[in-house]
Amino acid sequence: MLQNMKIGVRLLVGFGMVVFLLVIAGGLAIQKIGTVHSLQQTFFDHPFTVVHALGETHIHVIKMHRSMQDALLADNAMDRETAIRIIDESENAAIKDLKQVEERFLGDKLLVTEIMKDLDTWKNDRVKTIDLLREGKREQAVQMNKILSAGIIARVEKELDEMEEFAFARANTLADNSREIRDQTIRLTSILLLVAVALAVAITLVITRSITRPLSKAVEMADRLAVGDITAEIGATSKDEVGQLLQSMEKMLNQFKTMSEIAQQIAAGNLGGGVAAQSEKDVLGNALTAMVVSLKDSAAVAEQIAAGNLSVTIIPQSEKDVMGNALAAMVISLRGITSEIIEGVNVLAASSSEIMASSTQVASGATETATSVSETTSTVEEVKQTAQVSSQKARTVADTAQKAVQVAQAGRCSVEESIAGMARIQGQVEAIAESIVQLSEQSQAIGEIIATVNDLAEQSNLLAVNAAIEAAKAGEQGKGFAVVAQEVKNLAEQSKDATAQVRTILNDIQKATNTAVLATEQGNQAVEEGVRQSKEAGEAIRQMGESIDESAQTAIQIAASSQQQLTGMDQVALAMVNIRQASEQNVIGVRQVEQTVQGLHDLGQRLKGLVSRYKV
């Protein structure tokens, strides 16, 4: 049923139901709010006002009582009169409040009348008391006040309390009623709102589903059509707007199917199939017809080109006529390519002749190369032997250099020993010089001793002369003594001669010593020179050793290099053998090339014949 309704009708029905429910809920809520308001008004008019007025009355009664006390205690007339005036004002205010209470009080109004009566009684008593005061009878007045006022005030307060209690009870009742109505209202309104929301959701779901399901089917169909899929089938449809849309799409599909069959025939190359446009506005049908005509024209042109007629002219229908333009470009391009091919074939024929001549030359060159390579191989063999010899020599040189290094080290050691020996010689020469100096000093001492001996001989001589003189003086008795004196004198002279000889010898010794001192000095210098020279020699030998070390290193490197060279030469020899084989193969290859070139030349001649068929 729902399927066959129009979409607009469906939406109206659903929204109408939801609105109806909302109206019911709103009306109920407004009615309940009115009830609550009236209750509240009652509450305000009666219990609240009455309680307030009773409280005020109570305050005024207390104030009157206090002012009465003030009047009784007042010292002067002015204070007393002020207090009496306050009493009257308070009484007026109390009566005014009580009248309001009487008007609004919902309970027994007799209570109010009684309070009024009590207040009147109190007033009369007060007037009497005040009169007594004014007359100056204070004590009587105080007494009277005590007796009269106490009872009245107690009664009034009691009555006031009773009324207040009643008013409070009334207020509580009203408040309970109000709360109950509020709870009722909230419950009812909530239920109604929930029902309305649930109904709205249900209606929305139903309507949405009834619209979206056929619509999504239509969308799916349209998507498939858009990608060119026309195999889809559309089944039974509803009578609403979506159903009409699906029927139209079915018609369109059928049309597409017909067109596609025709297009497939054209694609298969069958241009004879009849294409009938359904109406003048059938753009697709008209286009297909035009396409068939155009394709037939193009086919005719292509047949001419296939027959080798490249001079045909093609005029494209428009700038956007891709096929026509392409055919025109193809003809022009074929024309250019064919011309070039003709030229190329001519060049190819000429070139192949030249290549044939060249390859003959190459063949003879390869033969010569093979011969040269053979010679080179034998030369390399000789060079390899030379390298072997040089490598052996280099090794020998390296060994010799090693020996030279050892010899240089030995030489260095010897020089160091000789330096040490020279130092020892220096020390010994110095010792000799010292000994000679000592000898010289000792010969000096000997000289002094000789001088002493000479002196002694001289004195002995003198003694002898004196003895002779004394002997002469003694006369005949001294003759023997004279002989002794003569002998002593002889001895003294012999001593003198001996000392003279010793002195001569000593002089010789001193001369020899001086010579020796000089000689040792020279020897010392010579030794120093020797030390210096041997140090220089040591340094020279050390440098020589370093040089020899370097030479040895170099010789070892040379030996290694020549070894590498030998290896390299081996490789070169091997490579030369390979090259020789390669060049022999080369010769064979060149012969084959010659034959191939002969074939190429023949091909060029044939191509020339073929190309001459094209009309450019």
Partner 1 sequence: MSEIMASGDDGRQLILRARAAALAREPEQSAAEDERIEIVEFLLADERYAIESSYVREVYPLKDLTPLPCTPPFVLGVINLRGKILSVIDLRTIFDLPDRGLSDLNKVVVLDDGTMGFGVLADTIIAARWIPRNALLPSLPTLTGIRAEYLMGVTEERLVVLDGGRILSDRGILVHEEVR
Closest CB to partner 1 among residues 80, 489: 489
Query: Shortest distance, CB of residue 493 to partner 1, whole angstroms?
Result: 10
Distances, alpha carbon 440 to alpha carbons 435, 445, 507, in Å: 9, 9, 11
Q: Tell me whether residue 214 or residue 478 sits nearer to partner 1 (CB atom).
A: 478
Q: How far is the CB of 461 from partner 1 (least distance, A)?
A: 7
- Of the pair 492, 516, the CB lying nearest partner 1 is at 492
- What is the three-class DSSP state of 3? coil
Using an 8 Å Cβ cutoff, are 207 and 10 in contact? Answer: yes
Length of the chain (residues): 616
Q: Does 565 help bind partner 1 (rule: CB under 8 A)?
A: no
First-residue to last-residue Cα distance in the chain: 80
In the numeric block, the tokens 């029905």 are attached to 13
Q: Which residues, 451 to 510, sit near partner 1 by CB under 8 A? A: 458-459, 461-462, 465-466, 468-470, 472-473, 485, 489
Site for partner 1 in 70-89 (CB under 8 A): none
At closest approach, how far in Å is the CB of 478 from partner 1?
A: 11
CA distance 423 to 62: 149
Nearer to partner 1, 299 or 462 (CB): 462
Q: From residue 239, how far is each of 214, 243, 247, 538, 592 by CA, in Å? A: 11, 5, 10, 132, 89
Query: Which is nearer to partner 1, 10 or 489 (by Cβ)?
Result: 489
Of 262 and 467, which has the nearer Cβ to partner 1? 467
d(CA 606, CA 345): 9
Closest CB 508 distance from partner 1, rounded Å: 21
**Greatest Cα-to-Cα distance within the chain, rounded to the nearest angstrom:** 225
Q: Is the Cβ of residue 455 or residue 521 nearer to partner 1 in the bound state?
A: 455
The binding track of 403-442 with respect to partner 1, each residue x by CB under 8 A or -, is ----------------------------------------
Q: Kindly state the smallest distance separating residue 510's Cβ from partner 1, in Å.
A: 21
Task: Give the binding-site size for partner 1 (rule: CB under 8 A).
Answer: 13
Q: Which of 312, 266, 308, 309 is nearest to 287 (CA)?
A: 266
| Smallest distance, partner 1 to C-beta of residue 433, A | 36
106 vs 469, beta carbon nearer partner 1: 469
CA distance 343 to 601: 16
Shortest spacing between CB 501 and partner 1, in angstroms = 14
- DSSP letter at 231 equals -
Residue 259 or 485: the one with the smaller Cβ distance to partner 1 is 485
Q: Is the dihedral of CA 32, 38, 41, 43 positive or negative?
A: negative
CB of 509 to partner 1, least distance (A): 22
* 182/35 Cα distance (integer angstroms): 9
Distance CA 8, CA 134 (A): 99
Select 77 or 469, whichever has its Cβ closest to partner 1.
Answer: 469
d(CA 560, CA 551): 14
For partner 1, the binding residues in 124-183 under the rule CB under 8 A are: none
434 - beta bridge partners?
A: none
Minimum distance from residue 467 beta carbon to partner 1 (Å):
8
- Under rule CB under 8 A, which residues in 96-125 are in contact with partner 1? none
Closer Cβ to partner 1, 56 or 458, answer by number: 458
CB of 522 to partner 1, least distance (A): 37
What are φ and ψ of residue 615, in 5° steps? -95, 125
Nearer to partner 1, 470 or 539 (CB): 470
- Measured distance CA(120)–CA(419) in Å, rounded: 164
Smallest gap from Cβ 523 to partner 1, in A, equals 38
Q: CA of 540: how far to CAs of 216, 401, 546, in Å?
A: 114, 18, 10
A 10 A CB-CB count for 443 gives 17
Instruction: State the Cα–Cα distance between residues 374 and 577, nearest whole angstrom.
Output: 8
Rounded least distance, CB 472 to partner 1, Å: 5
CA dihedral (139, 141, 142, 146) positive or negative = positive
Binding residues for partner 1, per CB under 8 A? 458-459, 461-462, 465-466, 468-470, 472-473, 485, 489
